[in-house]
Amino acid sequence: MRKLIVVLIITLCISFGDNLETTAAEEKTVYIMEVTTSPKKAAHYIKRHHPRMEVIETFDILLQAVAVKGTKEELEKLQQEPFIQATHQNQQYKALYEAVPNKEVFQNAYNPAQFNETKYTGKGIKIGIIDTGIDLEHEALKDNFQGGSDVVEYNDEPAETEEGFGQTIHGTHVAGIVGANGEIKGVAPESDIYAYRALGPNGFGTSVQVIAAMEKALEDGVDILNLSLGNTINVPDFPTSKAVNKATEHGVMVVVANGNDGPNDWTIGAPATAPTAISVGAYKHPMTEVSLWNERTKEKTAIFPMTGLEFWQKETTHYISETLNYTDLLLINETNKTELEDMETSNKMPRGIIIEAQLYEESFFANYDIPIAIVENADKLRQKERMFLHVKTETAKEDVAPFSSRGPVAMNWQMKPDLLAPGVQILSTIPGGYEMLNGTSMAAPHIAGALAILKEAQPTWTNEQIIGALKTTARKLADKRPIEQGAGLVQIDEAIHTSIIIHNPLLSFGKIHRFMDERIIELEIENIGDEAETFRFHMPKKEKGVTWHLPMNFTVGPNEKKTIPIQLKMNRTQIRDGIYEGYITLQNNNDTFELPYMYMLNETQQKKIDGFQIKEQPSTSEEDTYEFEFYATETLEKVDIFLFDTENYILEEKIANFDQLQIGKREGTFQLQNGEIILTNRFVFVFVIQLQDGEVVYETVDI
């Protein structure tokens, strides 16, 4: 059992507003139930024949479903009705961002207007933002705000949650990246912004709220939807992912943040996992970094200037101490920060102050005109009572942000993200002002704005052509893998003026199952120019057990679309386990296109079980059971589930077992034989998994 590692987190259903109410007898739970009949008819039937149930929402655009709330017994009775097709627990979603440490010093800020170097402004394009709401009176947003709704408190004013009530700023920041038109300008400053508040206090919401907001956006006729939200469940068929796919069928381009759980693989979460989602990773633009260099140890410690930028960027030698006996740089800790109250009356005023990020408070130094910097980890600065360190300033190269989630997607093995956009130190609107934030939440609205620019610039193009153009002309970052960057960093102007569109250029060949396997991807190349274009492939680097079959030369005529087969043959006995990825080079007379590809064999980092949740907690009755669900991300020979006590190292009892699991969702129930056990965080669920080749692996789930 010592080998067990925590690879999943139980996400218990959290609902907001009315969803937190409980009855005296038992807590009520919200489910989304897909139905075979009309959702409105189903809702009417439920109200008549299950009067204790509450119908929260009906979905008839993106899902054929109803959202209901009731006790365990009521839900069990409802599930027996023949029109109930599938049941999904109401998932929690959150805004995907983090605060930037040096909020007051904008020398490394990225202004969203930099992303759009064209003359186009997105004029008249409708962009729906599913988020925490918007500052309805913000000077840079109020003229572009054209409507929306609040599905948290159910009104027509999707305002941010106010201070003191779980204040939010996220939706306003996202909206500013898309279409601010004031002191700060967005990517598409003349686009029409429609805001839908689906994430309530502290930036949290549920599946029901997200899907309800998406349906209202489609009713309002939006052209583009931005979802800077997500969870950690890496499966492609959650209800929100299904809703994204359906919205695409309705002619809406849907942009989704890839997630902030990088840098490991397999960290993308729903709904970015949806096959038709334009999922976006975060690009880190080149920026000036300041660090303190220890000549003796050859180590550098990054610092983040808060005030006094000129002081911190001057390359000189400082000595640093945690006492006021020296007057150069003072390193603040929990103990000595109280001594600062005496600084102004002493002769020991330091020239500069460094403080650990977790101790920093903006109000703490409000009365001191001293250069201030913060440090994430001060341990390297505490090696001696008095240390001499040299200031270094350097420009860090562009990169994929380390927090940006990576693919691939479990179950369908799709490559994600699709594209990259700026997501580090993004300066945009917040209620009452402006601020920098980090996150794939900030990257996604850059793409939403880019789509609006292309839709304005090329009004005759289809959605598929617009998306294909962005992917075709994206710039590959050097030394970065396909599952880190997808097609690469979007270049709006190049996309507008391209004469070649490669549709679905991310070549995901999937997982190898047979000893001798063969995969073919039909690559569509469209020439929208007036002259014929001749193309040639460069054969990928030869690898043992892998054979590519590519046409050496082919021509695509003007205004012609041609399908080109990309064939990959693999000998499983000659290939090691793992993810294989790279780029296929395609050239014509004027351009070079780098097509990312990926395939895998028995990837060990991939979770075999995902999305495990306890659907119902037992009531006081001894007869009540726990209900649970999970997803098998690949075909499994056998799965046994045990309850393990981490304090006493005791395997308490076996709670369930499954044989011959196919890919997809599984449900079950269990009763604890030991009636004295109360499921707290001292317990974990242990999955003992036998793979098809006989290997046994272990995965655990926290409570």
Q: What is the pLDDT of residue 342?
A: 63
- Domain 501-601 shares a fold with domain 608-703: yes
Average pLDDT, the chain: 85
Q: What is the pLDDT of residue 620?
A: 43
Strand arrangement of the beta sheet that strand 664-670 belongs to: 609-616, 626-632, 664-670
363 has pLDDT over 70: no
Residue 15 binned pLDDT confidence (cut-offs 50, 70, 90): very low
- Domain 93-285+420-494 CATH class label: alpha beta
Q: What is the pLDDT of residue 390?
A: 83
Query: Closest by alpha carbon to 461, among 496, 492, 488?
Result: 496
Q: What is the pLDDT of residue 337?
A: 67
Point out which residues pair with 193 in neighbouring strands: 127, 145
Strand arrangement of the beta sheet that strand 516-527 belongs to: 500-503, 516-527, 560-571, 546-549
Min mean pLDDT across 222-226, 228-232, 530-534 is at 228-232
Q: Are 93 and 274 in contact (CB under 8 A)?
A: no
- At residue 671, φ and ψ (nearest 5 deg) are -120, 135
Q: What is the pLDDT of residue 22?
A: 36
Task: Look up residue 517 and give its two tokens.
Answer: 């396997």
87 has pLDDT over 50: yes
14 has pLDDT over 90: no
CA–CA separation, 64 vs 35, rounded Å? 6
Mean pLDDT of 50-65: 93
CA–CA separation, 560 vs 579, rounded Å? 35
Query: Tokens 């005109």 sit at which residue?
Result: 369
CA–CA separation, 284 vs 293, rounded Å? 23
17 has pLDDT over 60: no
521 has pLDDT over 70: yes
Q: What is the pLDDT of residue 529?
A: 94
Q: What is the pLDDT of residue 227?
A: 97
Q: Are 91 and 231 in contact (CB under 8 A)?
A: yes
- At residue 226, φ and ψ (nearest 5 deg) are -115, 125
Q: Are 488 and 475 in contact (CB under 8 A)?
A: yes
CA distances from 484 to 60, 267, 480, 593, 609 (A): 36, 11, 6, 18, 23
CA–CA separation, 699 vs 3, rounded Å? 9
The whole-model pTM stands at: 0.82
Min mean pLDDT across 98-102, 178-182, 271-275 is at 98-102
50 has pLDDT over 90: yes
CATH number of 501-601: 2.60.40.10
pLDDT in tens, 165-195: 999 999 999 999 999 999 899 999 999 999 9
Q: What is the pLDDT of residue 55?
A: 93
Task: Look up residue 96 and give its two tokens.
Answer: 């995907």
Query: Closest by alpha carbon to 451, among 441, 440, 439, 462?
Result: 462
Amino acid found at 269: G
Print the SS3 string covering 184-218: CECCCCCCEEEEEECECHHHEEEHHHHHHHHHHHH
Residue 406 binned pLDDT confidence (cut-offs 50, 70, 90): very high
Mean pLDDT of 12-20: 27
- Domain 608-703 CATH class label: mainly beta
Mean pLDDT of 375-380: 77
Mean pLDDT of 282-299: 85
The continuous run of DSSP H or E covering 176 comes out as helix 170-179
Q: What is the pLDDT of residue 479?
A: 92
Q: What is the pLDDT of residue 106?
A: 62
- For Cα atoms 404, 409, 415, give the angle at the middle one, nearest 5 degrees: 75
User: Per-domain residue ranges for the chain?
Assistant: 93-285+420-494, 287-396, 501-601, 608-703
Q: What is the pLDDT of residue 325?
A: 64
Amino acid found at 464: E
Q: What is the pLDDT of residue 365?
A: 61
CA–CA separation, 350 vs 329, rounded Å? 6
Burial (CB < 10 A; 0-12, 13-18, 19+), residue 103, is middle
Taken as a whole, the chain contains a residue count of 703
Query: Closest by alpha carbon to 68, among 83, 407, 455?
Result: 83
279 has pLDDT over 90: yes
Q: What is the pLDDT of residue 367?
A: 63
CA–CA separation, 512 vs 540, rounded Å? 19
Query: Closest by alpha carbon to 284, among 487, 480, 506, 492?
Result: 480
Q: What is the pLDDT of residue 427?
A: 93
238 has pLDDT over 90: no
Min mean pLDDT across 67-81, 261-275, 304-318 is at 304-318
Point out which residues pair with 436 in neighbouring strands: 427
Cα dihedral 330, 333, 335, 336, rounded to 10, equals: 10
pLDDT in tens, 570-602: 888 888 888 899 999 999 988 999 999 999 886
394 has pLDDT over 50: yes
CA distances from 613 to 170, 238, 604, 608, 685 (A): 28, 13, 23, 15, 11
CA–CA separation, 490 vs 420, rounded Å? 6
Q: Are 655 and 621 in contact (CB under 8 A)?
A: no
